[in-house]
Amino acid sequence: MKTLSERLAKAMADTGFDSQTRLARAAGVEQSVISKIIAGASKTSKHSSKLAAAMGISADWLINGAGTMQGGIDSPLQRIDVSKLVKVFDEKGDTGEAITWISEVPEHYRAYIMKRNTGIAQAPAGTVVVVNPNRSPSTNDLVVTLISGNLSVFRYHLSGDGGGFLSVDDTRIPVTPVRSESDIVGPVEQIFIPALSK
């Protein structure tokens, strides 16, 4: 195969990407980039390595036609689906790292790794929580908080006057009023607990 267009079309067919939109989402590129390559309007593309990573094929083969689609190895290359990557944040902000999540999530979602037990049974130490910082919490939502430089998870309660309260699972500990809405990072959308016991 002599052209990038031919190699991309074959790679999509062989790797099960039946639509340009699906590949674009997995690679984190615009669908028009793929359309131009397939149509032959782009003979090269700075996005080829992202496309190769999303399909789990050799970037050298896709870009240059060198070697084999599998890169000369017996086992398939790992696919990297950027639509499932979530940026990892800590107390100081964006860590510059990302984790692969189990399902596709919006780009603005954040992942936090709880460094200690939170008082919420669903969020012990080591838990990865995915938060939507763009959504306001509702009553009984789990929320990630950043209070006095410490990350934690609480249950959120909305009061009649529009204020908020935080609680933990232990009913002996009284609810605490939310001092500032800026203490709430956002509601928890998904939780992953790597291990319940060691």
Q: What is the pLDDT of residues 127-166, one digit of tens each?
A: 999 999 999 999 999 999 999 999 999 999 988 777 899 9
Q: Which amino acid is located at 99 in the chain? A: I
What average pLDDT does range 105-134 have in this prediction?
93
What's the pLDDT at 41?
86
Burial class, 63, CB count within 10 angstroms (exposed 0-12 / middle 13-18 / buried 19+): middle
Give the whole-angstrom CA distance, residue 156 versus residue 140.
Answer: 5
Give the whole-angstrom CA distance, residue 8 versus residue 51.
Answer: 9
CA nearest 77: which of 99, 100, 54? 54
Domains of the chain from N-terminus onward: 4-80 (1.10.260.40), 84-192 (2.10.109.10)
